[in-house]
Structure 1
Amino acid sequence: MASTTKPAVLFVHGSWHNPNHFKRIMDLFEATGFPSSCPAQPSVGKLPPIGLAEDAQCIRDELKKLVEAEQKDVIVIAHSYGGIVTTQAINAEFSKKTREAKGLAGGVRRLVFMCAFLLPLGDSLGSAFGGSLPPFIPIDEQGMCLMLEPERRFYNDLSKEEQNHWTSELKPCPAIAQLTPITHAAYLHHPVTYLFCEQDEALPLSVQQMMVQKVSEETDITVETETCTAGHSPFLSQPEIVLNLIRKVTG
């Protein structure tokens, strides 16, 4: 008989953000029976050379706990730069299909890219913008960066009060994390869904669509897609839409 236990949901936050930004959506998921976590990535607020490698290891460590120790099924939801972390971090060994073949319980059932970077091997976040960070992500003398106009770019579909609050939670990140090429492609080993966000002013819809098309063509994988009207932070402005998507992909 099939288990009625809902999978755990692992949120992988983007640059400058932290788990506080995801508390609203995690509370919603928990209230509807989906155990949720969002580990704080070590690069946020830290000087280089800390970067992508450490962030990816953080996610692998969380999956070792959820999948290997607790033997849970897991849905991974990656946001923005979190898509790069996810792509780098999640090896085939975590796959539900791979573990089932070995007689093991638990495993990653699906990767969900939520207005997140979905890139070919050898590319970085900077590659998606033509090879370097765009002018609205300046780099200071310590090698740190922070998005300009974050209220508009990240939270344009929230109230002014919320824009100010969530902006106050942001911290600078080492630019090296966004310029390091990926050396592993998790999407080759796990089913993938991409949530397009139409009003995104940080990662425009056209760029989201271009990334999905490029990876699909270059790898021949199938990326299932869904679309919502949110800006760059649907976990704050449209958490119910994200929940409904996860309900759909988990049957």
Structure 2
Amino acid sequence: MAAVSNLAVVICHGCYHSPEPYMPLVKALNSRGFDAHCPQLPTADLTKLNVGDVHQPDFDREPPEAGYPQGEQDKEIVVDVLKHLINEQGKNVLLVGHSAGGWVATEAALPEFQLKSRQEKGLFGARKKVPVVPPFMEFHQPNNFAKKHGAAGLGTIASSLTASPILTSKLTNNAYSEYPCAYLVLEADLTLPKDQKSGSFTIYRCPAGHSPHLSWTEGVIDTIGEFVKTIGFLNDLPIKAI
């Protein structure tokens, strides 16, 4: 694929992650001529979760004085990256959300980043419900805190990942009605259901599990390239979301 000097790819990683597992994808994108970024999101940043030594974290400590970061803080990190790429460098940006990073990508794709701004702003996903978490997660709570407040502490999955609180932020931005969108269905994914409705999304499929950025890296890049080629680089749509 030829170099695309005016395109930047911003990856929004999933819960419990640092950018490290996404570096193979970032480097592969760079090698194909894409300007790729994967910022650390606060909700999975051990330095912001009051776990003590991040190299030997203690997940049973009390929450930070201001509470654990939530989706709003993740959004602001990505918005800052978008402002730099779009406003300062004049880039077209493809937002790639992996797992829970899809929420962050959607929330960060603000109307201000397109020339034709939306006139209204809706509120989505406001229904309260019991959090659904995979059975292989472990929750850490100080002083039997869980008995009083449920899953209100930090959750961990594997020693190679970070930690994250249960995310309760409501989605307030309907990016899907304004931007071309695509969804990559992971046929071997055991974490998220595959019966997604197509809606206005372009649907792609791959044989990988929940982490195609590691097991299907080149395929992910080929899919990005195909989607970008399909939608073109329209001046009035500087952000594309996949």
**Hey, what's the Cα distance between the residues in 1 that align with 2:96 and 2:133?**
25
**Hey, what's the Cα distance between the residues in 1 that align with 2:107 and 2:173?**
5
Q: Counterparts in 2 of 1:1-251, with a 5 A limit?
A: 5-44=5-44, 45=46, 46=49, 47=63, 48-95=67-114, 98=116, 121-122=124-125, 131-134=130-133, 136=135, 137-141=137-141, 143-147=153-157, 167-175=158-166, 178-206=167-195, 209=196, 212-213=197-198, 216=199, 222-251=200-229
**Hey, what's the Cα distance between the residues in 2 that align with 1:134 and 1:250?**
33
What percentage of aligned pairs have identical amino acids? 29
Q: Which amino acid aligns with 2:81?
A: E
In the superposition, the TM-score normalised over structure 2's length comes to 0.72
Q: Which has the higher helix share?
A: 1
1:71-124 alpha-carbon deviations (Å, 9 max, x no partner): 1011111000101111222101213x538xxxxxxxxxxxxxxxxxxxx91258
Question: Per-residue deviation at 1:183?
Answer: 1.9
Compute the RMSD of aligned alpha carbons: 2.3
Task: Give the greater-gyration-radius structure (CA).
Answer: 2
The answer to whether the Cα contact below 8 Å between 2:5 and 2:35 also exists between their aligned partners in 1 is no
Count how many residue pairs are aligned between Structure 1 and Structure 2. 192
Question: Per-residue deviation at 1:5?
Answer: 2.9
In the superposition, the TM-score normalised over structure 1's length comes to 0.70
- Point out 4+ residue stretches in structure 1 off by more than 4 angstroms: none
Partner of 1:153: none
**Hey, what's the Cα distance between the residues in 2 that align with 1:231 and 1:179?**
25
**Hey, what's the Cα distance between the residues in 2 that align with 1:57 and 1:35?**
20
Question: Unpaired runs of 5+ in structure 1?
Answer: 100-119, 148-166, 217-221
Question: Unpaired runs of 5+ in structure 2?
Answer: 50-62, 118-122, 143-152, 230-242
The answer to whether the Cα contact below 8 Å between 2:185 and 2:203 also exists between their aligned partners in 1 is yes
Q: Aligned pair in 2 of structure 1 residues 123, 24: CA closer, same or farther (>3 Å)?
A: farther
